[in-house]
Chain A
Amino acid sequence: MSGGNTFLGMPAFPRNAAAAVQDSQLRFNLRKATHTIRGKRASVVAELPDWAELRAAGKEIKDHTLRNLERYLLQMEEAVTAAGGHVHWAADAEEANRIVADLVKATGETSVVKVKSMATQEIGLNEALQAEGITAYETDLAELIVQLGDDWPSHILVPAIHRNRSEIREIFHDKMADWGRAAPEGLTDEPRALADAARLHLRERFLSTKVAVSGANFMIAETGTLVVLESEGNGRMCLTLPETLISVVGIEKLLPSWRDLEVFLQLLPRSSTGERMNPYTSTWTGAVEGQEFHLVLLDNGRTQVLADEVGRQALRCIRCSACLNVCPVYERAGGHAYGSVYPGPIGAILTPQLRGMGSALDASLPYASTLCGACFEACPVAIDIPEVLVHLRGKARHPRTERLGMRAAGWVFNRPARLARAQRLGGRFRRFVPGRLPGPLSAWTDTRDIPDIPAESFRDWWNRTDGGAR
């Protein structure tokens, strides 16, 4: 995965998270938001007696598609072309950004409206367009908040989850005028007032912009149809009003047929927003007369992920963010700590696979989890995130002191006699163990006591008493 260069040089996850956890406003906002969505999801999922079957079907459909990706991609290309659209293939972020910029330039326009899209964030499209003199306007309410606040999204579904309504009022009041229609006089932090301000601001944009850029939640190979799920209607405006529509979609978003979509239209809304049915579901196939449609199929590291037998299950992801909302680490670290547009548990397995583990940040991501398993349980396509985390840890580079410690522990555990000797040594010097440990282990004793070391290990007790018989 290239693009999103803003994250380059960020410190490793533990440092980012340690800073974030000190921010009490952030922790309050995150806790409140994640627990609300978590509760909603749990209750609408519990309503369905066939949830386990739906989940299994979702997993199977995705796995089947990924196994036959080449065939379905070619079928998709053929169907889109037959329906009057144009298909472009982008190996990486740079190529995708170049294609989109050239397409926009060919229209003679200098601005585009955007439907919320993870793929375009992944490749850093807005920044790339800016460098070419093209302004990209986000139209999703939360993305608007992030864009106006010169901020980064911190959640896949609710990118401004780290902001509360009084912070949003401030951003609207201070920044809207720089981007278009100013916020109304006397703007309050009532949700309705904030939504009205955004609506008025965006309406002008929708009616005056001739090019739109979107992603897609699904692509249906049999008919060449794209599907976008959203809940504000901004997507519908962007997908229908402009003369030119450019959609940048990851190659793993394919489904073979409309029948398969049925499963995902049940899985996705319940897992993401905790709704039974998605409010605005737009589908389109090719282009109608007077309009132009371009599909940019994005690889950007995906085929490399597909080559990993354990890691490839991450490509089943439908970006619902249920895993973020149940993750105790995400809840306390926030999304920015992950240094990627994909935060939380899914980000911890997706980012290191797409970008590699070359940087300190990316190598630290597989360790940003206690392996508690809440993410796997919530995942609607059964991605075993803890399994992939452990798999990636096995491929990561380890610090020298840790390597030595692990080797020493392995040496002790390899022979029961060595373990017994080590235990006796610990027992003999137990009174000299300090309350505060040195080196990396001080991380334990900074907030926790260490347990008292017993005078006698279990095995020595067993041997001495013959299992308690003497």
Chain B
Amino acid sequence: MRVALFITCVNDTLFPGTGQAVVTLLRRLGCDVEFPRAQTCCGQMHVNTGYPEEGTRLARHFVDVFAGYDAVVAPSGSCAAMVREQYPRLARATTPSFAGEVAEMVPKVHDLSEFLVDVLGVTDVGAYFPHRVTYHPTCHSLRGLHLGDRPTRLLEQVRGLELVPLPGAEECCGFGGTFAVKNPAISAAMCGDKVRNVTSTGAEVLCAADNSCLMHIGGTLTRQRAGVRIMHLAEILATTEATR
């Protein structure tokens, strides 16, 4: 199976460690991972901020880059949801041929936990991480991709890991892309409540499957010197006794 890593622009630029963790993890599970170098951004920021034309251009680029692969794996629920939910809508406003290409592409694009559980059929990925962890499900993973308990099933199988439930887990952290700067007061208030819930768990690590949300919550955690680290799901799953 030809598996392409869609790193996403945020991870590529700001969180390369997450991408390296995905590569380590998928290779450990026997996948041949490729990184199509022409990839850039899925266009979510443009579309969600009200620039559908630029977004459509980036969607076309994405489809061109990833068309030849059997599976495309993204360590971001939000970017995977962008392709799955919004590309068909964008394509409808273009040509039938592009709509057809998108329809073919959509079922091949997976969030990491979905790829592990549904495509590879594993929940125990052989990870070891002896820490107290709480998990924030993130809106687009939860209500866009309907990932359900896939991420927590993966975490529960990690040796040494103590998973503690996060109160109000399903509530948005207030990131919302450009919402965070367009409506900073509400965004900060939402994040303040999220951070209070995170610290109430006594967890050492806040885990999520989306670095954008983690960047937002993490930025508030460090500003408040809360002493809780953020880690992408891939980074925990990639850790073994040998690599610690």
Contact = CB atoms under 8 A, between A and B. Distances in A.
Contacts of A407: 54
A368 B223 contact: no
Contacts of B178: 367
A467 B4 CA distance: 12
Interface string B175-215: 11111111111111111000000000000000000000001
Contact of A423 (B12, B50, B174): B12
A410 B60 CA distance: 13
Interface string A434-458: 0000001101101111110110111
B7 A394 contact: no
Nearest to B81: A373
A402 B185 contact: no
A371 B139 CA distance: 8
Given A413-B9, A414-B57, A450-B219, A461 B20 contact: yes
B181 A444 contact: yes
B240 to A, nearest CB: 15
Greatest chain B CB density within 10 A among A376, A440, A447 is at: A447
A369 B45 contact: no
B2 interface: no
Contact of A413 (B40, B50, B189): B40
B165 interface: no
Nearest to B223: A449
Interface string A390-421: 10011110100010001101101111100100
B14 A398 contact: no
B239 to A, nearest CB: 16
A394 B174 contact: no
Task: Summarize A's interface: helix, strand, loop or mixed.
Answer: helix
Nearest to B179: A370
A8 B92 CA distance: 37
B223 A448 contact: yes
Number of contact residues on B: which range applies? 35 or more
Interface stretch (B30-38, B95-103, B112-120, B151-159): B30-38
B198 to A, nearest CB: 14
B176 A372 contact: yes
Nearest to B54: A410
A369 B184 contact: no
Contacts of B109: none
Contact of A370 (B47, B139, B219): B139
Interface in A90-119: none
A369 B179 CA distance: 7
A367 B219 contact: no
B184 A459 contact: no
A13 interface: yes
B23 interface: yes
A387 B48 CA distance: 10
A468 interface: yes
B189 to A, nearest CB: 5
A233 interface: no
B24 A406 contact: no
Given A372-B143, A406-B46, A410-B51, A444 B180 contact: yes
Contacts of A468: 20, 23-24
22 contacts: A17-B185, A332-B190, A367-B178, A370-B174, A370-B176, A370-B179, A371-B176, A406-B45, A406-B54, A409-B46, A412-B40, A413-B61, A414-B58, A441-B181, A446-B184, A449-B223, A451-B15, A454-B16, A454-B17, A458-B12, A462-B37, A467-B34
